[in-house]
Amino acid sequence: MLLIGMLEVCRMKKVVLIIIILLVVACSAPVKKAEYSGYLSDYSRLKESSTEKNYFSYRAENISNYTKFIIDPVEMLYQPNTNEKELSKKELKDLQAYLHHNLVKALTSGDDPLTIVDKAGDNVARLRVAITQVKKTIGALNLTIYTKVTGVGLGGVSVEGELLDSITGEQVAAVIRWGSGSRVLRAGFKKTGDAEILLKKWSKELKKKLSQNKSNEK
């Protein structure tokens, strides 16, 4: 009788856990495509990628002419609702700094580092990036197999960015991308953990694309 009682308790605990997961899932949505924020100077030439998920971009034919880059401070356009207990102002500010740091690090690292400058000039492009959405990571919900499979605790982020001719202000490249965290990579208990993983990955991918443009010029 004792064993049967223990099994029944275990069964009930699992049922309660599943109900809790379903309730959280119902109230939790992944980062999705947002309305254009108005940050980019031009949205009309953006096209959806056929190979990359949640990725819209534009690239001018003369982009390979740009060999030096000014990196503007990252802007934070995301503002939580007043009744939300999502992320603090400090956490959002730290996320801005994190992205800026990773952009500089990615572009200046590796076998083919790009040149970063602080003044406009010929063949110099200005990189502007803004974070437009952030969804916090709920680390405690990614510790069990039940929640890990659903992805309910995963955070996410969305960004808009563009390259402008540093003299004329003409847009020579633009991107909008968004995504949620990975069920494989662990973001820990930091509320911006998944967002940071994505931003670091996207910074490296930007460097790769810019390096490819440079190689194509040769």
Instruction: With CA atoms as reference, report the closest residue to 59 among 162, 177, 169, 192.
Output: 162
Domains of the chain by start residue, with CATH: 31-217 (3.40.50)
Angle between helix 89-108 and 193-217 (nearest 10): 30
Please give the C-alpha separations between residue 103 and each of 142, 162, 167, 188, in angstroms, as whole numbers.
Answer: 28, 13, 22, 22
Q: What is the pLDDT along the chain (218 residues), one digit of tens a residue?
A: 544 444 454 455 444 444 444 444 444 444 555 568 899 999 999 999 999 889 999 999 999 999 999 999 999 999 877 655 678 899 999 999 999 999 999 999 988 899 999 999 999 999 999 999 998 877 665 555 555 555 566 788 999 999 999 999 999 999 999 998 765 556 566 888 889 999 999 999 999 999 886 655 55
Q: What is the pLDDT of residue 25?
A: 42
Rounded mean pLDDT of the chain? 80
